[in-house]
């Protein structure tokens, strides 16, 4: 049965989604989502372990060998993503039990869990597939379920946020489709490995260059790279807390992984970063994204929007690492992907707890929080410092890796932008801490106790981020393996 | 050229003419009710004659049966749609054109 | 390329472009919707001309049928005319069009000739396998069906999941769970008051359902398949709902049954995959379903088409009920 | 070049028309119509890739020699279905937006949100002021 693991990873969440709808019980639906995420985590751990030992795994759907059928490929480059997504799902499952019950009316809860299962399946499928068109299909599964979940937010702004994300996201997906079509016109195949093989040495093909442009612009929308990030703040800021916790940790990260997969193992680094100036454009947009995202975060007066804008900036850090196209850069990018996921998930989870207990996360309403919810506040401080990159938090380890990679290639302007971004992060995290710690709580405010399951999820993430900050050997090992797998193959 | 082919050609040409007439009518007629009359011609007379013309040219039974079924359904749905459209327009008070009115 | 082909092709393309331009310029949205339906119809004709009969069938069912009905339903619930697009909004669109158009034009310089038999697409070994080897592997004349349901069965599963997700979205946004804040007065008349339409649609109903079944099971030999059949099935219910009113339509297919069917089709498909795994094959490997691989493939494809049909029909009906039920006083 | 590529160019033109509508028009329903136009352009492009001169539909029969390629058709079948699913979700959102804001024009929705936010801020300021005074 272990040979079937790659498909089980995706099929189990897919199976749970219709069951959630069919059984229509809140508790059963939650249980199904928990079971689905635990199963995929188990599969992911198992797969990661096997890939580490024996190298890449391939799984042919319906026993049709690629390129005639669709194949799943598990290799060093996607095991970290699979682990990240399924771990985030487990945490979101633990967290969502109370959070969803409080934020949604009863009859919609099973639908939300069904959508969470679908989003999980979509993201996992997107990470594991070895076929470009199949990637498009999984991308649409995850996107459509995400739009639906965002629209379930409490305020009416959630509707417009979801609609705009739907329009921008669909344009992005259609761009991806155009790019895939152009690449298909040049090669006649959709399998990633086959594409890579047939594309070697056709750098001057103009249709292929256009394909690169379309695929990357389409993915950039999903990654929320700087000028295409407009959908992100409202989408993350308005979604139900459990959803933003899960999606903020995974959505853009998986898109970045797909970007790397296309850049290094399909089109090839020599075309993307040699013949075409993707590296320079990537670095430029990364810098702009870091500065614009961090600056915008400083001016928000809603905690969830602060966090969402900071995500735009963090995507910039990761893109900068990838755009270096060096082993150190890609490894740093993966490391930052992992660290930032953990940190940002923790922060959105904290925002959800505050929303539940205070009814609002506008900065003005957070006054005196440090005394009313000391433990939650402490978690926020640790995770917030992780966002800034203060040692010994997770953010420090990954930013250090990125800085080393930048110095290695003498990219000083990017380095300056990153430092400025970190300083701005200090400002926006500091603003929240200032309000929460130094301002007086409103009269008659009692200490508040958040639900235990939510606290457990938050502290798991916070402690994990502290642990990774002190001993980064596990994520660093995964990131190095990923970089090696990506750069080792696509050299041609 | 056999008689059947000639006949089929005549039917096809007549059908095409009916469709064309319908199209011209859509553009030239002054109000909704007369235009819907023109539109009705395209899918009853036009499509009907063309299908009959094609029916004379088929070489296998199953194609002929299919064409006949299509003909039957067109005969059933086309007039119904036109009828209901005209009713709806009258219900909503779409004005009728009379001699001397301005064209809409 | 034969002259007739070019002639028809050029005129269809001209009609398409003209329609598209008109759609952009119309501010009256009912008219724009009808033109969009026309656009889909012409596209479907073009698909036939390009030898894609299955796609043409789907485009006709989706573009002319489902999309139009949904758009009209939404227009009835919202506002039917667009306000003037302010000048400042034009610039971003123009810039995007210039950039994308430039890139596409650049790409076309190295695209293989249209219709060439020597393009990479036609030369790739996949072509041979799908067109000829498939006759031995699967034994179904319609290669689109064999590629869809067997070679690339996972894509089709994904497609079904997307449809399912759309059903969930509409249920959550417009279903009985989300009560409307304002209600539309109940209509003072029904289409069923007209005897002609009552009789004709009553007479057509059985044929529509029969045709849906024909399309479902004939997909192996000709154009058609589960998706088209599902849409036709749903359009039967839509017609019934439009003519006889939503209440009677919901008495025929109660919501609870729809919930069940929506999930059932998807479960059937995934269950098929799980079954093949339990029988020792890989996911969606239909060979193991029967002692003879050919029979197994036939069986598998039949189950897949049925599963698609069930979910698509019930999701489309759910979506229609969602839109039509909105605003009706409850 | 023109004889062999005009078909692709027309498909590209259709995509661009759709794209323009999506980006520049503020009406949410019109945006969705534009999105479908854009996608149909892409669908036609794919099907065009599989077309072979003198070919016929890829349904195997004894008296046909050349077939057009089935793969793009399969892909586009999937893409059409994905497109209509997206359209349905978008329309459902548009209906809810109309119910919440009374309009389906993007600019008006944004305007109503920002006036709401301003009003809220004013109320807050006034409350603070009162609090300081008492």
> What is the tens place of the pLDDT at every residue in A368-390?
888 888 888 899 999 999 989 88
Q: How far apart are the first and last CA of chain A?
A: 36
Mean pLDDT to the nearest integer, D24-36: 93
- Asked if A305 and A233 touch (Cβ cutoff 8 Å), the reply is yes
Q: Between A489 and C95, whose confidence is greater?
A: C95
Which residue out of C165, C312, C318 would a mutagenesis test of the A interface target, given it has the greatest number of A Cβ atoms within 10 Å? C165
Mean pLDDT to the nearest integer, D62-91: 92
Query: Is B90 near chain C, with CB under 8 Å?
Result: no
| pLDDT band per the 50, 70, 90 thresholds, residue C327 | low
**Chain centroid, CA A393 distance in Å:** 19
Chain A residue whose CA is closest to D46: A181
Query: Is C83 near chain D, with CB under 8 Å?
Result: yes
Q: Which of D18, D44, D71 sits opposite C126 (nearest CB)?
A: D71
Helix (H) or strand (E) holding A58, with range, is strand A57-60
Cβ contact, residue pair D86, A140, below 8 Å: yes
Which pLDDT value is given to residue D75? Answer: 94
Q: In Å, how far is D49's CA from the nearest CA of chain C?
A: 7
Number of domains in chain D: 1
| Predicted confidence (pLDDT) per residue in A194-236, tens digit | 999 898 878 888 999 999 999 999 999 999 998 899 999 999 9
Q: Name residue A59's beta-bridge partners.
A: A72
Query: B83 contacts in C (CB within 8 Å)?
Result: 194, 196-197
Which pLDDT value is given to residue C186? Answer: 53
Q: Is residue D16 part of a domain?
A: yes
Mean pLDDT to the nearest integer, C192-197: 79
Q: What contacts D126, CB < 8 A, 6 or more positions away?
A: none
Query: D96 contacts in C (CB within 8 Å)?
Result: 173-174, 178
The mean-pLDDT minimum among A312-326, C59-73, D114-128 falls in D114-128
Cβ contact, residue pair C162, A137, below 8 Å: yes
Cis ω before A67 (30° cut-off from 0): yes
Mean pLDDT to the nearest integer, D76-91: 94
**Subunits touching B (CB < 8 Å, at least 3 pairs)?**
C
CA-CA distance, C287 to C295, in Å (whole number)?
8
Which residue do the tokens 């003879």 mark? Answer: C292
Query: A305 contacts in D (CB within 8 Å)?
Result: none
Q: Is residue D27 part of a domain?
A: yes
Which pLDDT value is given to residue D130? Answer: 63
Cβ contact, residue pair C29, D27, below 8 Å: yes
Closest CA to D13 of C112, C21, C47: C21
Number of domains in chain B: 1
**pLDDT score of C200 more than 70:** yes
Can you list the alpha helix ranges (DSSP code H) found in chain C? 3-25, 29-49, 53-59, 68-77, 87-108, 120-123, 125-128, 134-137, 143-146, 153-174, 195-218, 226-244, 246-252, 255-278, 293-325
Q: In Å, how far is D64's CA from the nearest CA of chain A?
A: 23
**pLDDT score of C293 more than 80:** yes
Cβ contact, residue pair C200, B80, below 8 Å: yes
**pLDDT score of C329 more than 60:** no
**pLDDT score of C4 more than 60:** yes
CA-CA distance, C114 to D8, in Å (whole number)?
8
- Asked if C192 and C245 touch (Cβ cutoff 8 Å), the reply is yes
Q: Which of D6, D69, D81 sits opposite C122 (nearest CB)?
A: D69
Which pLDDT value is given to residue D129? Answer: 67
Which pLDDT value is given to residue D63? Answer: 81
Report the mean per-residue pLDDT for chain C.
87
Q: Between A445 and A177, whose confidence is greater?
A: A177
Residue ranges of domains in chain A: 278-492
What pTM does this model have? Answer: 0.94
C-alpha dist (Å) from residue C39 to A182, C32, C64, C320, D35: 24, 10, 8, 22, 13
Which pLDDT value is given to residue A394? Answer: 86
| Predicted confidence (pLDDT) per residue in C115-148, tens digit | 888 888 888 888 888 988 888 888 888 899 989 9
The two counts, helices (H) then strands (E), for chain A are 20, 2
Report the mean per-residue pLDDT for chain A.
90
**pLDDT score of A284 more than 90:** yes
Q: Is residue D59 part of a domain?
A: yes
Cβ contact, residue pair C58, D77, below 8 Å: yes
Which pLDDT value is given to residue A390? Answer: 87
Cβ contact, residue pair D82, C162, below 8 Å: yes
Q: In Å, how far is C81's CA from the nearest CA of chain B?
A: 18
CA-CA distance, A280 to A276, in Å (whole number)?
9
Q: What contacts B96, CB < 8 A, 6 or more positions away?
A: B31, B33
- Asked if A261 and A82 touch (Cβ cutoff 8 Å), the reply is no
Closest CA to A115 of A29, A38, A6, A232: A29
Token pair for residue C116? 């060439």
* B abuts A (3+ Cβ pairs < 8 Å): no
Q: How far apart are the first and last CA of chain B?
A: 48
Angle at the Cα of C65 (from C64 to C70), degrees rounded to 5?
105
Q: Which of C2, C50, C222 sits opposite D48 (nearest CB)?
A: C50
- Asked if C285 and A62 touch (Cβ cutoff 8 Å), the reply is yes
Which pLDDT value is given to residue A367? Answer: 83
Query: Is A182 near chain C, with CB under 8 Å?
Result: yes
Q: Is residue B102 part of a domain?
A: no
Mean pLDDT to the nearest integer, A433-461: 85
C-alpha dist (Å) from residue C323 to C182, C256, C326: 14, 17, 5
Max distance between CA atoms of chain A, in angstroms, equals 72
Max distance between CA atoms of chain D, in angstroms, equals 95
Helix (H) or strand (E) holding A430, with range, is helix A412-438
Q: What contacts A410, CB < 8 A, 6 or more positions away?
A: none
**pLDDT score of B98 more than 90:** no
**pLDDT score of A162 more than 90:** yes
Half-sphere exposure of D80 (CA within 13 A, CB side): 31
Query: Is C197 near chain B, with CB under 8 Å?
Result: yes
Q: Name residue A191's beta-bridge partners.
A: A131
Q: Is C80 helix (H, G, I), strand (E, B) or coil?
A: coil
Q: Is residue D117 part of a domain?
A: no
Q: Is D94 helix (H, G, I), strand (E, B) or coil?
A: helix
Closest CA to A161 of C178, D109, C73, C322: D109
Query: Is B63 near chain C, with CB under 8 Å?
Result: no
Range of the domain at B18: 3-91
Cis ω before A392 (30° cut-off from 0): yes
Helix (H) or strand (E) holding A380, with range, is helix A374-388
Query: C159 contacts in A (CB within 8 Å)?
Result: 137
| pLDDT band per the 50, 70, 90 thresholds, residue D134 | very low
Residue ranges of domains in chain C: 1-84, 91-123, 124-330
Range of the domain at D67: 2-102
**pLDDT score of C176 more than 80:** no
Q: How far apart are the first and last CA of chain C?
A: 60
Chain C residue whose CA is closest to A158: C173
**pLDDT score of A491 more than 50:** no
Q: Are strands A57-60 and A71-74 parallel, antiparallel or unpaired?
A: antiparallel
| Predicted confidence (pLDDT) per residue in A27-75, tens digit | 999 999 999 999 999 999 999 999 988 888 899 988 888 889 999 999 9
| Predicted confidence (pLDDT) per residue in D113-124, tens digit | 888 888 877 877
CATH code of D80's domain: 1.10.287
Mean pLDDT to the nearest integer, D1-28: 89
Cβ contact, residue pair A140, D38, below 8 Å: no
Crossing angle of helices D70-101/C153-174, nearest 10°?
10
Cβ contact, residue pair C155, A11, below 8 Å: no
**pLDDT score of D132 more than 60:** no
Cβ contact, residue pair A22, C260, below 8 Å: yes
Q: Between B99 and C221, whose confidence is greater?
A: C221
């Amino acid at each position: 049965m272990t040979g079937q693991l790659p498909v089980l990873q995706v099929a189990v969440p897919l199976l749970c989604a219709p069951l959630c709808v069919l059984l229509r019980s809140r508790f059963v639906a939650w249980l199904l989502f928990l079971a689905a995420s635990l199963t995929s985590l188990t599969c992911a751990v198992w797969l990661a372990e096997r890939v580490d030992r024996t190298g890449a795994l391939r799984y042919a759907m319906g026993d049709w060998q690629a390129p005639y059928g669709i194949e799943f490929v598990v290799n060093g480059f996607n095991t970290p993503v699979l682990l990240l997504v399924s771990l985030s799902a487990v945490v979101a499952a633990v967290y969502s039990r109370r959070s969803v019950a409080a934020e949604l009316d009863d009859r919609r809860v099973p639908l939300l869990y069904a959508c969470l299962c679908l989003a999980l399946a979509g993201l996992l499928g997107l990470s594991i597939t070895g076929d470009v068109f199949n990637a498009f299909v999984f991308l649409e599964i995850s996107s459509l379920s995400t739009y639906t979940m965002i629209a379930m937010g409490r305020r009416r702004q959630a509707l417009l946020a979801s609609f705009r994300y739907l329009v921008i996201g669909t344009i992005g997906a259609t761009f991806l489709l155009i790019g895939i079509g152009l690449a298909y016109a040049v090669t006649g195949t959709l399998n990633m490995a086959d594409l890579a093989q047939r594309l070697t040495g056709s750098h001057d093909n103009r249709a292929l260059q256009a394909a690169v442009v379309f695929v990357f612009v389409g993915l950039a929308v999903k990654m929320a790279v700087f000028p295409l990030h407009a959908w992100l703040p409202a989408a993350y800021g308005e979604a139900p807390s459990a959803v933003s916790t899960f999606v903020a940790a995974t959505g853009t990260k998986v898109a970045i992984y797909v970007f790397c997969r296309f850049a290094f193992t399909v089109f090839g680094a020599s075309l993307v970063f040699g013949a075409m100036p993707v590296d320079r454009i990537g670095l430029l947009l990364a810098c702009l994204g870091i500065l614009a995202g961090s600056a915008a975060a400083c001016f928000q007066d809603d905690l969830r929007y602060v966090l969402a804008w900071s995500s735009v900036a963090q995507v910039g850090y990761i893109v900068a690492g990838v755009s270096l196209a060096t082993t150190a850069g890609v490894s740093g990018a993966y490391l930052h992907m992992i660290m930032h996921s953990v940190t940002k998930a923790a922060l959105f989870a904290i925002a959800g707890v505050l929303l539940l207990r205070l009814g609002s996360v506008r900065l003005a309403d957070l006054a005196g929080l440090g005394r009313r919810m000391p433990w939650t506040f402490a978690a926020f401080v640790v995770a917030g410092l992780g966002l800034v990159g203060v040692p010994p938090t997770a953010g420090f380890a990954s930013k250090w890796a990125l800085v080393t990679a930048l110095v290695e290639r003498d990219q000083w302007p990017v380095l300056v932008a990153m430092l400025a971004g970190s300083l701005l992060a200090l400002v926006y995290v500091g603003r929240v801490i200032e309000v929460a710690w130094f301002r007086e709580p409103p009269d008659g405010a009692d200490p508040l106790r958040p639900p235990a399951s939510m606290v457990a999820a938050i502290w798991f993430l916070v402690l994990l981020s502290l642990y990774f900050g002190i001993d980064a050997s596990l994520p660093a090992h995964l990131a190095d393996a990923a970089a090696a797998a990506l750069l080792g193959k696509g050299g041609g | 050229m056999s008689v059947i082919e000639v006949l089929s050609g005549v039917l096809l040409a007549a059908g095409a003419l009916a469709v064309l007439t319908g199209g011209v009518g859509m553009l030239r007629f002054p109000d909704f009710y007369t235009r819907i009359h023109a539109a009705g011609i395209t899918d009853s007379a036009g499509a009907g004659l063309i299908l009959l013309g094609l029916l004379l040219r088929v070489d296998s039974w199953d194609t002929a049966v299919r064409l006949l079924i299509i003909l039957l359904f067109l005969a059933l749905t086309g007039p119904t749609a036109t009828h209901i459209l005209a009713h709806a327009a009258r219900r909503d008070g779409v004005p009728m054109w009379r001699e001397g009115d301005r064209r809409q | 390329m034969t002259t007739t082909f070019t002639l028809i092709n050029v005129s269809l393309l001209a009609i398409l472009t003209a329609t598209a331009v008109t759609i952009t310029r119309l501010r009256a949205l009912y008219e724009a919707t009808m033109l969009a339906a026309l656009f889909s119809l012409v596209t479907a004709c073009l698909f036939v001309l390009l030898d894609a009969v299955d796609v043409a069938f789907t485009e006709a069912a989706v573009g002319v049928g489902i999309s139009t009905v949904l758009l009209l339903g939404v227009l009835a619930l919202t506002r039917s005319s667009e306000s003037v697009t302010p000048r400042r909004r034009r610039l971003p669109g123009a810039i995007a069009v210039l950039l994308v158009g430039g890139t596409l034009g650049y790409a076309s310089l190295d695209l293989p000739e249209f219709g060439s038999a020597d393009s990479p697409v036609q030369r790739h070994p996949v072509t041979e396998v799908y067109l000829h080897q498939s006759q031995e592997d699967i034994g179904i004349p319609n290669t689109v069906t064999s590629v869809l349901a067997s070679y690339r069965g996972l894509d089709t599963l994904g497609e079904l999941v997307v449809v399912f997700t759309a059903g969930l979205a509409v249920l959550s946004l417009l279903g009985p769970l989300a009560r409307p804040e304002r209600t539309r007065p109940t209509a003072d008349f029904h289409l069923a008051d007209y005897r002609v339409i009552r009789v004709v649609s009553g007479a057509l109903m059985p044929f529509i359902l029969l045709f849906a079944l024909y399309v479902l099971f004939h997909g192996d030999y000709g154009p058609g398949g589960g998706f088209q059949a599902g849409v036709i099935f749903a359009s039967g219910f839509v017609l019934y709902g439009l003519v006889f009113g939503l209440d009677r339509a919901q008495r025929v297919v109660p919501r609870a049954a729809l919930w069940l069917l929506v999930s059932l089709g998807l479960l059937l498909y995934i269950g098929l995959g799980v079954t093949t795994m339990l029988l020792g094959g890989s996911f969606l490997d239909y060979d193991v379903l029967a002692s003879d691989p050919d029979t197994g493939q036939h069986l598998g494809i039949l189950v897949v088409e049925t599963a698609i049909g069930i979910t698509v029909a019930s999701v489309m009906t759910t979506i229609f009920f969602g839109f039509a039920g909105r605003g009706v006083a409850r | 070049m023109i004889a062999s590529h005009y078909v692709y160019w027309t498909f590209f033109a259709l995509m661009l028309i759709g794209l323009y509508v999506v980006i520049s028009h503020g009406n949410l329903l019109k945006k969705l119509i534009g999105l479908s136009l854009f996608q149909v352009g892409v669908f036609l492009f794919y099907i065009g890739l599989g077309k072979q001169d003198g070919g016929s539909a890829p349904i195997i029969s004894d008296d046909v020699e050349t077939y057009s390629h089935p793969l793009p058709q399969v892909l586009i079948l999937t893409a059409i279905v994905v497109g209509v699913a997206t359209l349905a979700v978008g329309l459902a959102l548009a209906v809810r937006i109309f119910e919440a804001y009374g309009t389906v024009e993007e600019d008006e929705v944004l305007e109503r949100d920002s006036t709401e936010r301003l009003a809220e801020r004013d109320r807050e300021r006034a409350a603070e002021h009162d609090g300081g005074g008492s």
